[in-house]
Structure 1
Amino acid sequence: MTEDVQILIARLLAHQTLRREDKLVKRALSDELFRVELDTRLKACGMKFVDNVYADHVTLALTRDSESKVFGTKDTWQNNNFGLARDGVALLVVLWSLIILPKRERQEAHQLAEEDQNDMFGKEKPLPRAEDTSIGISYRALLADFGDKLGKKTRMDMNLGQLVRLGFVEKKADLIVEGPLLDLLMDTDTLKDRIINGALSDIFHIPVARTPATIIANTDQLADSDMPGPTDTEEN
Protein backbone atom coordinates (compact mmCIF):
# COMPACT_ATOMS: atom_id res chain seq x y z
CA MET A 1 0.00 0.00 0.00
CA THR A 2 2.86 2.38 0.84
CA GLU A 3 4.27 2.05 -2.68
CA ASP A 4 0.86 2.75 -4.26
CA VAL A 5 0.44 5.88 -2.12
CA GLN A 6 3.88 7.04 -3.18
CA ILE A 7 3.08 6.44 -6.84
CA LEU A 8 -0.23 8.32 -6.60
CA ILE A 9 1.41 11.35 -4.99
CA ALA A 10 4.20 11.34 -7.57
CA ARG A 11 1.72 11.12 -10.45
CA LEU A 12 -0.35 13.99 -9.06
CA LEU A 13 2.77 16.12 -8.66
CA ALA A 14 3.85 15.29 -12.21
CA HIS A 15 0.49 15.66 -13.94
CA GLN A 16 -1.24 18.19 -11.63
CA THR A 17 -4.61 16.43 -12.00
CA LEU A 18 -5.87 12.86 -12.44
CA ARG A 19 -9.32 11.67 -13.41
CA ARG A 20 -11.58 10.13 -10.78
CA GLU A 21 -11.73 6.94 -12.87
CA ASP A 22 -7.99 6.39 -12.37
CA LYS A 23 -7.36 3.14 -10.48
CA LEU A 24 -5.33 4.68 -7.64
CA VAL A 25 -7.63 7.71 -7.39
CA LYS A 26 -10.63 5.41 -7.04
CA ARG A 27 -8.76 3.59 -4.30
CA ALA A 28 -8.06 6.88 -2.50
CA LEU A 29 -11.76 7.69 -2.66
CA SER A 30 -13.00 4.31 -1.45
CA ASP A 31 -10.28 2.69 0.71
CA GLU A 32 -10.21 4.31 4.15
CA LEU A 33 -6.80 2.95 5.19
CA PHE A 34 -5.27 3.98 1.87
CA ARG A 35 -6.74 7.49 2.26
CA VAL A 36 -5.44 7.83 5.81
CA GLU A 37 -1.90 7.00 4.71
CA LEU A 38 -2.22 9.33 1.71
CA ASP A 39 -3.43 12.23 3.88
CA THR A 40 -0.75 11.58 6.51
CA ARG A 41 2.10 11.62 4.00
CA LEU A 42 0.77 14.73 2.26
CA LYS A 43 0.22 16.58 5.55
CA ALA A 44 3.85 15.95 6.48
CA CYS A 45 4.76 17.96 3.38
CA GLY A 46 2.21 20.73 3.97
CA MET A 47 -0.13 19.45 1.27
CA LYS A 48 -3.59 17.88 0.95
CA PHE A 49 -5.58 15.78 -1.48
CA VAL A 50 -8.37 17.81 -3.13
CA ASP A 51 -11.50 15.99 -4.25
CA ASN A 52 -14.91 17.29 -5.29
CA VAL A 53 -17.82 15.01 -6.18
CA TYR A 54 -18.95 17.56 -8.80
CA ALA A 55 -15.58 17.47 -10.61
CA ASP A 56 -14.14 14.77 -12.86
CA HIS A 57 -10.58 15.27 -11.58
CA VAL A 58 -8.61 15.37 -8.31
CA THR A 59 -5.51 17.37 -7.49
CA LEU A 60 -3.14 18.42 -4.69
CA ALA A 61 -3.02 21.75 -2.87
CA LEU A 62 -1.22 23.36 0.03
CA THR A 63 -2.79 23.14 3.46
CA ARG A 64 -4.11 26.41 4.88
CA ASP A 65 -1.26 26.55 7.42
CA SER A 66 1.33 26.27 4.65
CA GLU A 67 -0.07 28.94 2.33
CA SER A 68 1.34 32.01 4.08
CA LYS A 69 4.75 30.39 4.52
CA VAL A 70 4.97 29.48 0.83
CA PHE A 71 3.19 32.42 -0.82
CA GLY A 72 3.40 35.13 1.85
CA THR A 73 6.19 36.99 0.08
CA LYS A 74 4.07 37.54 -3.04
CA ASP A 75 1.78 40.55 -3.30
CA THR A 76 -1.09 38.59 -4.85
CA TRP A 77 -1.16 35.47 -2.67
CA GLN A 78 -4.17 36.57 -0.58
CA ASN A 79 -6.26 36.75 -3.79
CA ASN A 80 -4.76 33.72 -5.50
CA ASN A 81 -1.58 31.66 -5.63
CA PHE A 82 -1.32 31.56 -9.42
CA GLY A 83 0.06 35.07 -9.89
CA LEU A 84 -3.15 36.33 -11.51
CA ALA A 85 -3.78 40.06 -11.63
CA ARG A 86 -7.07 41.38 -10.30
CA ASP A 87 -8.72 41.43 -13.70
CA GLY A 88 -7.50 37.85 -14.23
CA VAL A 89 -9.13 36.79 -10.95
CA ALA A 90 -12.30 38.65 -11.98
CA LEU A 91 -12.37 36.80 -15.32
CA LEU A 92 -11.86 33.49 -13.49
CA VAL A 93 -14.78 34.25 -11.16
CA VAL A 94 -17.02 35.19 -14.09
CA LEU A 95 -16.16 31.97 -15.96
CA TRP A 96 -16.67 29.90 -12.80
CA SER A 97 -20.07 31.53 -12.29
CA LEU A 98 -21.27 31.04 -15.86
CA ILE A 99 -19.97 27.48 -16.27
CA ILE A 100 -19.86 25.81 -12.86
CA LEU A 101 -23.03 27.07 -11.17
CA PRO A 102 -25.35 25.94 -14.01
CA LYS A 103 -23.45 22.65 -14.25
CA ARG A 104 -23.94 21.92 -10.56
CA GLU A 105 -27.66 22.63 -10.86
CA ARG A 106 -27.88 20.06 -13.66
CA GLN A 107 -25.82 17.56 -11.66
CA GLU A 108 -28.00 17.95 -8.57
CA ALA A 109 -31.09 17.53 -10.76
CA HIS A 110 -29.43 14.46 -12.36
CA GLN A 111 -29.94 16.07 -15.76
CA LEU A 112 -27.51 15.64 -18.65
CA ALA A 113 -26.46 18.63 -20.74
CA GLU A 114 -28.45 17.49 -23.78
CA GLU A 115 -31.65 16.74 -21.86
CA ASP A 116 -34.43 19.31 -22.12
CA GLN A 117 -37.16 17.48 -20.22
CA ASN A 118 -37.55 16.40 -16.62
CA ASP A 119 -37.10 12.75 -15.69
CA MET A 120 -39.41 11.82 -12.83
CA PHE A 121 -36.99 9.04 -11.81
CA GLY A 122 -33.85 11.14 -12.30
CA LYS A 123 -33.01 11.23 -8.59
CA GLU A 124 -32.38 7.47 -8.67
CA LYS A 125 -29.49 7.90 -11.10
CA PRO A 126 -25.86 8.41 -9.96
CA LEU A 127 -24.56 11.98 -9.90
CA PRO A 128 -23.72 12.75 -13.56
CA ARG A 129 -20.11 13.40 -14.49
CA ALA A 130 -18.99 16.96 -15.13
CA GLU A 131 -18.23 16.24 -18.78
CA ASP A 132 -21.82 15.09 -19.30
CA THR A 133 -23.39 18.16 -17.68
CA SER A 134 -20.95 21.02 -18.27
CA ILE A 135 -21.85 23.45 -21.04
CA GLY A 136 -19.33 26.00 -22.30
CA ILE A 137 -19.94 29.66 -23.04
CA SER A 138 -19.32 31.61 -26.21
CA TYR A 139 -16.14 33.69 -26.31
CA ARG A 140 -17.89 36.34 -28.39
CA ALA A 141 -20.74 36.55 -25.89
CA LEU A 142 -18.24 36.79 -23.00
CA LEU A 143 -16.40 39.60 -24.77
CA ALA A 144 -19.63 41.47 -25.53
CA ASP A 145 -20.95 41.16 -21.97
CA PHE A 146 -17.76 41.64 -19.95
CA GLY A 147 -15.05 42.98 -22.27
CA ASP A 148 -15.37 46.59 -21.12
CA LYS A 149 -15.26 45.54 -17.46
CA LEU A 150 -12.31 43.17 -17.82
CA GLY A 151 -9.79 45.32 -19.69
CA LYS A 152 -11.24 45.04 -23.21
CA LYS A 153 -10.23 42.41 -25.78
CA THR A 154 -6.43 42.53 -25.52
CA ARG A 155 -6.33 42.27 -21.74
CA MET A 156 -9.13 39.70 -21.58
CA ASP A 157 -7.42 37.54 -24.21
CA MET A 158 -4.16 37.64 -22.24
CA ASN A 159 -5.88 36.59 -19.01
CA LEU A 160 -7.93 33.94 -20.80
CA GLY A 161 -4.75 32.46 -22.26
CA GLN A 162 -3.24 32.30 -18.78
CA LEU A 163 -6.33 30.54 -17.39
CA VAL A 164 -6.10 28.01 -20.24
CA ARG A 165 -2.42 27.34 -19.47
CA LEU A 166 -3.17 26.91 -15.77
CA GLY A 167 -5.88 24.34 -16.49
CA PHE A 168 -8.93 26.29 -15.30
CA VAL A 169 -10.61 26.41 -18.71
CA GLU A 170 -10.16 25.10 -22.24
CA LYS A 171 -10.90 26.97 -25.46
CA LYS A 172 -12.39 25.12 -28.43
CA ALA A 173 -12.89 27.49 -31.35
CA ASP A 174 -15.44 30.05 -30.05
CA LEU A 175 -16.37 27.93 -27.02
CA ILE A 176 -14.83 28.25 -23.55
CA VAL A 177 -15.36 25.06 -21.53
CA GLU A 178 -14.53 23.79 -18.05
CA GLY A 179 -10.94 22.74 -17.43
CA PRO A 180 -9.85 20.17 -14.80
CA LEU A 181 -9.18 22.77 -12.08
CA LEU A 182 -12.17 25.10 -12.46
CA ASP A 183 -14.41 23.16 -10.07
CA LEU A 184 -11.60 22.00 -7.77
CA LEU A 185 -9.70 25.09 -6.62
CA MET A 186 -12.52 27.55 -6.06
CA ASP A 187 -14.20 27.95 -2.66
CA THR A 188 -17.81 27.33 -3.65
CA ASP A 189 -19.24 27.82 -0.14
CA THR A 190 -17.71 31.29 0.04
CA LEU A 191 -18.24 32.34 -3.55
CA LYS A 192 -21.71 31.08 -4.40
CA ASP A 193 -23.72 33.43 -2.20
CA ARG A 194 -21.49 36.38 -3.00
CA ILE A 195 -21.77 35.74 -6.72
CA ILE A 196 -25.50 35.09 -6.98
CA ASN A 197 -26.56 37.77 -4.51
CA GLY A 198 -23.81 40.27 -5.22
CA ALA A 199 -21.39 40.52 -8.10
CA LEU A 200 -23.50 38.88 -10.80
CA SER A 201 -27.00 39.41 -9.44
CA ASP A 202 -27.98 41.35 -12.55
CA ILE A 203 -27.10 38.34 -14.71
CA PHE A 204 -28.93 35.85 -12.51
CA HIS A 205 -31.84 38.30 -12.16
CA ILE A 206 -31.96 38.12 -8.37
CA PRO A 207 -32.71 41.30 -6.36
CA VAL A 208 -29.83 42.41 -4.16
CA ALA A 209 -30.29 43.65 -0.61
CA ARG A 210 -28.07 46.73 -0.37
CA THR A 211 -26.44 45.93 2.97
CA PRO A 212 -22.82 46.02 4.18
CA ALA A 213 -22.75 42.24 3.73
CA THR A 214 -22.99 42.63 -0.04
CA ILE A 215 -19.43 42.19 -1.26
CA ILE A 216 -19.89 43.66 -4.75
CA ALA A 217 -22.97 45.56 -5.80
CA ASN A 218 -22.62 45.17 -9.56
CA THR A 219 -20.32 43.92 -12.28
CA ASP A 220 -18.86 47.39 -12.89
CA GLN A 221 -16.86 46.90 -9.68
CA LEU A 222 -15.83 43.32 -10.40
CA ALA A 223 -12.33 43.89 -11.81
CA ASP A 224 -11.31 46.22 -8.97
CA SER A 225 -12.60 44.13 -6.10
CA ASP A 226 -10.79 41.78 -3.73
CA MET A 227 -12.84 38.71 -4.60
CA PRO A 228 -11.53 35.45 -3.12
CA GLY A 229 -9.68 33.44 -5.70
CA PRO A 230 -8.35 29.94 -6.21
CA THR A 231 -6.16 30.03 -3.13
CA ASP A 232 -9.31 28.94 -1.22
CA THR A 233 -9.69 25.27 -2.00
CA GLU A 234 -12.74 23.11 -1.53
CA GLU A 235 -12.68 19.81 0.24
CA ASN A 236 -15.11 17.02 0.83
Structure 2
Amino acid sequence: MNDDAQILIARLLTHQTLRRDDKLVKRALSDEQFRQEVDKRLLDAGLKLLDNVYADHVTLALHRNVEPRIFGAKDVWQNNNFGLTRDGVALLVVLWAQIILPKRERQETHQHKEDDQTDFFGKDKPLPRAEDTSIGISYTALLADFGDKLGKKTRMDMNLGVLSKLGFIERRGDLILEGPLLDLMMDTDLLKERIINGALADVFKTSNLQVVVPKPQAVAPANDPEAEPQPDASTGAENT
Protein backbone atom coordinates (compact mmCIF):
# COMPACT_ATOMS: atom_id res chain seq x y z
CA MET A 1 0.00 0.00 0.00
CA ASN A 2 1.36 3.43 -0.92
CA ASP A 3 2.07 5.97 1.82
CA ASP A 4 2.98 9.65 1.74
CA ALA A 5 6.73 9.13 2.26
CA GLN A 6 6.84 6.64 -0.59
CA ILE A 7 4.85 8.95 -2.86
CA LEU A 8 7.05 11.96 -2.10
CA ILE A 9 10.26 10.04 -2.85
CA ALA A 10 8.80 8.53 -6.02
CA ARG A 11 7.70 11.96 -7.24
CA LEU A 12 11.14 13.44 -6.57
CA LEU A 13 12.82 10.58 -8.44
CA THR A 14 10.40 11.04 -11.33
CA HIS A 15 10.31 14.83 -11.58
CA GLN A 16 13.79 15.62 -10.15
CA THR A 17 12.54 18.75 -8.35
CA LEU A 18 9.36 19.76 -6.51
CA ARG A 19 8.34 23.19 -5.31
CA ARG A 20 8.60 24.01 -1.61
CA ASP A 21 4.89 24.89 -1.56
CA ASP A 22 3.96 21.36 -2.71
CA LYS A 23 1.74 19.74 -0.06
CA LEU A 24 4.02 16.78 0.69
CA VAL A 25 7.19 18.89 0.52
CA LYS A 26 5.72 21.36 3.02
CA ARG A 27 4.91 18.42 5.28
CA ALA A 28 8.47 17.07 4.99
CA LEU A 29 9.86 20.50 5.92
CA SER A 30 7.54 21.04 8.90
CA ASP A 31 6.61 17.58 10.27
CA GLU A 32 9.64 16.16 12.10
CA GLN A 33 8.30 12.60 12.29
CA PHE A 34 7.42 12.54 8.60
CA ARG A 35 10.84 14.01 7.69
CA GLN A 36 12.59 11.32 9.73
CA GLU A 37 10.71 8.62 7.82
CA VAL A 38 11.59 10.20 4.47
CA ASP A 39 15.24 10.60 5.47
CA LYS A 40 15.47 6.99 6.66
CA ARG A 41 14.13 5.60 3.40
CA LEU A 42 16.39 7.84 1.34
CA LEU A 43 19.43 6.90 3.42
CA ASP A 44 18.76 3.22 2.71
CA ALA A 45 19.26 4.09 -0.98
CA GLY A 46 22.29 6.35 -0.39
CA LEU A 47 20.30 9.54 -0.95
CA LYS A 48 19.15 12.59 0.99
CA LEU A 49 16.57 15.34 0.59
CA LEU A 50 18.26 18.56 -0.45
CA ASP A 51 16.67 21.93 0.31
CA ASN A 52 17.57 25.41 1.42
CA VAL A 53 15.46 28.37 2.45
CA TYR A 54 16.72 30.47 -0.47
CA ALA A 55 15.44 28.09 -3.18
CA ASP A 56 11.86 27.60 -4.34
CA HIS A 57 12.43 23.88 -5.01
CA VAL A 58 13.77 20.74 -3.33
CA THR A 59 15.59 17.82 -4.91
CA LEU A 60 17.54 14.64 -4.09
CA ALA A 61 21.30 14.23 -3.78
CA LEU A 62 23.83 11.53 -2.98
CA HIS A 63 24.55 11.05 0.69
CA ARG A 64 28.11 11.92 1.69
CA ASN A 65 29.06 8.39 2.73
CA VAL A 66 28.40 6.94 -0.73
CA GLU A 67 30.20 9.65 -2.73
CA PRO A 68 33.58 7.87 -2.84
CA ARG A 69 31.99 4.68 -4.20
CA ILE A 70 30.19 6.67 -6.90
CA PHE A 71 32.48 9.54 -7.85
CA GLY A 72 35.74 7.73 -7.14
CA ALA A 73 35.11 4.90 -9.60
CA LYS A 74 38.13 3.56 -11.52
CA ASP A 75 40.56 5.54 -9.36
CA VAL A 76 39.45 8.82 -11.00
CA TRP A 77 37.33 11.30 -9.04
CA GLN A 78 34.54 12.50 -11.31
CA ASN A 79 33.73 16.17 -10.92
CA ASN A 80 30.06 15.71 -11.85
CA ASN A 81 27.60 13.13 -13.15
CA PHE A 82 25.75 15.19 -15.76
CA GLY A 83 28.19 14.68 -18.62
CA LEU A 84 29.42 18.28 -18.41
CA THR A 85 32.86 19.05 -19.78
CA ARG A 86 35.30 21.34 -17.98
CA ASP A 87 34.07 24.46 -19.75
CA GLY A 88 30.49 23.41 -18.96
CA VAL A 89 31.28 23.11 -15.26
CA ALA A 90 33.11 26.46 -15.37
CA LEU A 91 30.09 28.09 -17.02
CA LEU A 92 27.82 26.60 -14.35
CA VAL A 93 29.96 28.11 -11.59
CA VAL A 94 29.96 31.51 -13.32
CA LEU A 95 26.17 31.46 -13.67
CA TRP A 96 25.74 30.45 -10.04
CA ALA A 97 28.03 33.25 -8.87
CA GLN A 98 26.38 35.87 -11.10
CA ILE A 99 22.76 34.89 -10.42
CA ILE A 100 22.54 33.18 -7.03
CA LEU A 101 24.90 35.25 -4.86
CA PRO A 102 23.22 38.59 -5.72
CA LYS A 103 19.80 36.97 -5.32
CA ARG A 104 20.67 35.74 -1.83
CA GLU A 105 21.87 39.19 -0.86
CA ARG A 106 18.51 40.60 -1.96
CA GLN A 107 16.70 37.88 -0.01
CA GLU A 108 18.73 38.59 3.13
CA THR A 109 17.92 42.30 2.91
CA HIS A 110 14.31 41.53 1.94
CA GLN A 111 14.50 43.32 -1.39
CA HIS A 112 12.27 42.36 -4.30
CA LYS A 113 13.43 42.61 -7.89
CA GLU A 114 10.97 45.44 -8.56
CA ASP A 115 11.93 47.48 -5.46
CA ASP A 116 13.20 50.97 -6.28
CA GLN A 117 13.42 52.40 -2.75
CA THR A 118 14.42 51.32 0.74
CA ASP A 119 11.77 49.55 2.80
CA PHE A 120 12.59 50.37 6.43
CA PHE A 121 10.33 47.59 7.67
CA GLY A 122 11.41 45.00 5.10
CA LYS A 123 13.29 42.75 7.50
CA ASP A 124 10.10 42.13 9.45
CA LYS A 125 8.62 40.41 6.42
CA PRO A 126 9.12 36.71 5.53
CA LEU A 127 12.17 35.80 3.44
CA PRO A 128 11.25 36.63 -0.19
CA ARG A 129 10.88 33.70 -2.57
CA ALA A 130 13.52 33.10 -5.22
CA GLU A 131 11.11 33.95 -8.02
CA ASP A 132 10.52 37.37 -6.42
CA THR A 133 14.22 38.22 -6.07
CA SER A 134 16.07 36.36 -8.84
CA ILE A 135 16.83 38.76 -11.69
CA GLY A 136 19.08 36.74 -13.99
CA ILE A 137 21.82 38.01 -16.29
CA SER A 138 22.11 39.10 -19.91
CA TYR A 139 23.39 36.53 -22.40
CA THR A 140 25.05 39.34 -24.36
CA ALA A 141 26.93 40.51 -21.26
CA LEU A 142 27.88 36.94 -20.32
CA LEU A 143 29.32 36.33 -23.79
CA ALA A 144 31.25 39.60 -23.72
CA ASP A 145 32.68 38.99 -20.24
CA PHE A 146 33.40 35.26 -20.37
CA GLY A 147 33.11 34.10 -23.98
CA ASP A 148 36.86 33.94 -24.61
CA LYS A 149 37.41 31.94 -21.42
CA LEU A 150 34.50 29.53 -21.92
CA GLY A 151 35.06 28.32 -25.48
CA LYS A 152 33.64 31.30 -27.35
CA LYS A 153 30.07 31.56 -28.66
CA THR A 154 29.65 28.08 -30.15
CA ARG A 155 30.82 26.20 -27.05
CA MET A 156 29.04 28.54 -24.67
CA ASP A 157 25.76 28.20 -26.57
CA MET A 158 26.10 24.41 -26.51
CA ASN A 159 26.77 24.35 -22.76
CA LEU A 160 23.93 26.78 -22.06
CA GLY A 161 21.63 24.42 -23.92
CA VAL A 162 22.77 21.49 -21.78
CA LEU A 163 22.38 23.45 -18.54
CA SER A 164 18.91 24.56 -19.60
CA LYS A 165 17.90 20.98 -20.40
CA LEU A 166 19.17 19.78 -17.02
CA GLY A 167 17.15 22.42 -15.14
CA PHE A 168 19.97 24.65 -13.92
CA ILE A 169 18.88 27.68 -15.96
CA GLU A 170 15.98 29.01 -18.03
CA ARG A 171 16.32 31.12 -21.19
CA ARG A 172 13.96 33.99 -22.01
CA GLY A 173 15.25 35.87 -25.00
CA ASP A 174 18.52 37.54 -24.02
CA LEU A 175 17.92 36.80 -20.33
CA ILE A 176 19.40 33.80 -18.49
CA LEU A 177 17.38 33.01 -15.36
CA GLU A 178 17.74 30.70 -12.38
CA GLY A 179 16.38 27.20 -12.95
CA PRO A 180 15.10 24.84 -10.21
CA LEU A 181 18.51 23.27 -9.53
CA LEU A 182 20.87 26.25 -9.68
CA ASP A 183 20.52 27.24 -6.01
CA LEU A 184 20.59 23.63 -4.79
CA MET A 185 23.80 22.33 -6.37
CA MET A 186 26.56 24.34 -4.73
CA ASP A 187 28.05 24.26 -1.22
CA THR A 188 27.95 28.01 -0.78
CA ASP A 189 29.65 27.95 2.62
CA LEU A 190 32.72 26.26 1.14
CA LEU A 191 32.91 27.89 -2.28
CA LYS A 192 31.68 31.48 -1.87
CA GLU A 193 34.96 32.93 -0.63
CA ARG A 194 37.02 30.90 -3.10
CA ILE A 195 34.94 32.17 -6.00
CA ILE A 196 34.53 35.80 -4.94
CA ASN A 197 38.14 36.23 -3.85
CA GLY A 198 39.65 33.80 -6.34
CA ALA A 199 38.41 32.78 -9.77
CA LEU A 200 35.85 35.62 -10.08
CA ALA A 201 37.60 38.25 -7.98
CA ASP A 202 37.48 40.80 -10.80
CA VAL A 203 33.73 40.33 -11.21
CA PHE A 204 32.99 40.86 -7.53
CA LYS A 205 35.70 43.37 -6.64
CA THR A 206 33.09 46.11 -6.15
CA SER A 207 30.65 43.83 -4.30
CA ASN A 208 30.31 43.18 -0.60
CA LEU A 209 28.02 40.18 -0.60
CA GLN A 210 26.90 38.76 2.74
CA VAL A 211 25.49 35.30 2.09
CA VAL A 212 23.98 33.21 4.88
CA VAL A 213 24.35 29.53 4.09
CA PRO A 214 21.57 27.03 4.78
CA LYS A 215 22.17 23.36 5.65
CA PRO A 216 22.33 20.70 4.40
CA GLN A 217 24.36 20.97 1.21
CA ALA A 218 24.93 18.21 -1.32
CA VAL A 219 27.25 16.53 -3.80
CA ALA A 220 28.49 17.11 -7.33
CA PRO A 221 26.94 17.22 -10.92
CA ALA A 222 28.32 15.39 -14.56
CA ASN A 223 31.13 13.12 -15.94
CA ASP A 224 34.53 14.25 -17.25
CA PRO A 225 37.21 11.72 -16.29
CA GLU A 226 39.98 14.26 -16.97
CA ALA A 227 38.43 16.93 -14.80
CA GLU A 228 39.89 17.72 -11.41
CA PRO A 229 37.72 17.24 -8.30
CA GLN A 230 35.13 19.96 -7.71
CA PRO A 231 34.34 20.24 -3.99
CA ASP A 232 30.77 19.76 -2.85
CA ALA A 233 28.80 20.66 -5.95
CA SER A 234 25.36 19.12 -5.45
CA THR A 235 23.03 17.31 -7.80
CA GLY A 236 19.44 16.32 -8.05
CA ALA A 237 17.83 12.95 -8.67
CA GLU A 238 20.27 12.14 -11.51
CA ASN A 239 22.68 11.00 -8.82
CA THR A 240 20.60 7.90 -8.24
The TM-score, its normalising length taken from structure 1, stands at 0.86
Unaligned runs of 5+ in 2: 208-225
Change (3 A) 1:34 1:193: same
Aligned match of 2:200: 200
Query: Shift of the alpha carbon at 1:83?
Result: 2.0
- Amino acid aligned to 2:230: P
Aligned match of 1:19: 19
Aligned match of 1:54: 54
Percent identity reads 72
Change (3 A) 1:39 1:144: same
Change (3 A) 1:43 1:2: farther
**Take 1:135 and 1:230, find their aligned partners in 2: how far apart are those partners?**
25
**Take 1:175 and 1:160, find their aligned partners in 2: how far apart are those partners?**
12
Aligned match of 2:211: none
Give the superposed CA RMSD. Answer: 2.3
**Larger CA deviation: 181-190 vs 19-28:** 181-190
Aligned match of 2:139: 139
Query: Shift of the alpha carbon at 1:102?
Result: 0.4
- Amino acid aligned to 1:228: Q
The TM-score, its normalising length taken from structure 2, stands at 0.85
Unaligned runs of 5+ in 1: 208-223
The CA deviation string for residues 109-155 of structure 1, in whole angstroms up to 9 with x for no partner, is 01101102111111100000000000011111110110000000111
Higher relative contact order (CA 8 A, sep 6+): 2
Question: How many residues in Structure 1 have an aligned counterpart in Structure 2?
Answer: 218
SS in 1 for 2:13: helix
CA contact 1:196–1:206 (8 Å) conserved in 2? no
Change (3 A) 1:134 1:33: same
Query: Shift of the alpha carbon at 1:72?
Result: 2.8
Q: How does 1:150-169 map onto structure 2 within 5 Å?
A: 150-169=150-169
**Take 2:42 and 2:64, find their aligned partners in 1: how far apart are those partners?**
13
- Amino acid aligned to 2:177: V
Aligned match of 1:210: none
- Amino acid aligned to 2:52: N
The CA deviation string for residues 185-221 of structure 1, in whole angstroms up to 9 with x for no partner, is 11111111011111111111259xxxxxxxxxxxxxx
**Take 1:163 and 1:230, find their aligned partners in 2: how far apart are those partners?**
18
